[in-house]
Amino acid sequence: MPEHRGTFAPNRNEVAAKVIDGELIIIRLSDGTYYSMDNVGTQVWELLERGHALPAVIATLAAWYGVAADRVERDAAALVDELLAERLVVAAGAGGGGEEGARPADLLAYDAPRLNVYRDMGNLLALDPPTPGIDDLPLKGDKGR
C-alpha cells in the first residue's frame, strides 16, 4: 500500500470531474469509464483537490461527523487506493494547505465512501446512437475522387 501521508491531486490530464449538489461524477477520458461518489466520498475528493494531505482530510471528516478517526482513516485510505488504482488521482508530494472550509450544514450520517464504477458506458453508447451519425453512412468502395 502506498504511503498515505502525502497529498493526492485529481489526475487533470486524464480525468473530467464535477461536483453538483454533493454528488461527484468523474469521467476517465482515455477510455470513457464513468465513476460517481456522493456524500463522504465527494468530500474526500474536494478536500484533496484543495491540497490537503490525507491525514488532514481524515481529521477534518472525523471532526465534522463526530466519528472515530481510525474508522475514517481505514475508509479514506481504502478509497484513495482505489482512486490511485483507477488513475483518478496522482500522488502530489508532501505538504499542502488551504482552507478546509466550514463544516457543511446538511450532513447526513457518516457512511463509508464508495466509488461507483461503470465500465460499460462506451459499449452501451455504441449500441444505440441518437441522431444519425456520419459513421452510419459508410461509403463502400471507391469514392471516385
Partner 1 sequence: MSDGPPHVVAMRRAFDEALARCPGEVRETRYAFAGRAVHLRVVGARLAERIQRPFAHLRRDRAAVGAEPLRIDLWDEHETGVASPADAAPGALDHEWLACDGTLSASADGRYVSFTYQDSVTLLDRQGQRMIGGRRSGSHLSRGECSKPFVVMLTVWYSDLRVQILHAGLLAHDGVGVLLPGESGTGKSTTSLAGVAHGLEFLGDDFVGCERRDDGTFHGHSIFSTACLARSGLDRFGDIRAHAVEDRFPEEEKPILFLAEVFPERLRATAPIGAIVLLRVGAERTKVRPATRPEALRQLAASTLHTVVPRPGRAALEMMGALVAQVPAYRLHLGTDLRDVPGGIAEVVAQARRRGSP
Partner 2 sequence: MNARTLYHSEAGLGITRHFMRVLYWTDWYLPSIGGVEVFSARLLPALVRHGHQITVVAGHHRTGLPDVTARDGVDVHRFWFHLALAANDVDRISELLAAVAALTRRVAPDLIHLNTLGPSVLFHLESSRRSGAPVLLTMHSPVPDDAARTDTLCGRALRSASWVNCNSHAVRRDLCRLLPELADRSSVTYYGMDPPALAPAPRPRAAPRILGFGRLVTDKGFDVAVRAFATVVRRLPSARLVLAGEGAARPELERLASALGLAESVEFVGAVAPEDVPALLDRASLVVVPSRWDEPFGLVALEAALMARPVVATRVGGLVEVVENGTTGVVVDPDDPDALAGAMLVLLEDPATADRLGRAARARAEARFGWDRCVAEYAGLYERSRNIGGQNA
* CA–CA gap between residue 65 and residue 111 (Å, rounded): 10
The mark string for 14-53 relative to partner 1 (x by CB under 8 A, - otherwise) is -xx------------x------------------------
User: What are the cell numbers at 28?
Assistant: 476517465
Q: Does 21 bind partner 2 (CB under 8 A)?
A: yes
* CA–CA gap between residue 92 and residue 11 (Å, rounded): 10
The mark string for 92-121 relative to partner 2 (x by CB under 8 A, - otherwise) is ------------------------xxxxxx
Q: What is the DSSP letter of 136?
A: G
Stretch that binds partner 2, among 20-28, 43-51, 67-75, 93-101 (CB under 8 A): 20-28
Stretch that binds partner 2, among 3-11, 33-41, 42-50, 55-63 (CB under 8 A): 33-41
For the chain, report the end-to-end CA distance as a whole number of angstroms: 59
Minimum CB–partner distance for residue 134 and partner 1 (Å):
4
Strand partners, 118: 34
Size of the site for partner 2 (CB under 8 A): 28
The mark string for 125-144 relative to partner 2 (x by CB under 8 A, - otherwise) is x-xxxxx-------------
* CA–CA gap between residue 15 and residue 6 (Å, rounded): 20
User: What are the cell numbers at 99?
Assistant: 482552507
> Helix 54-65 crosses helix 69-85 at what angle (to 10 degrees)?
130
Q: Which residues bind partner 1 (CB under 8 A)?
A: 12-13, 15-16, 29, 129-145
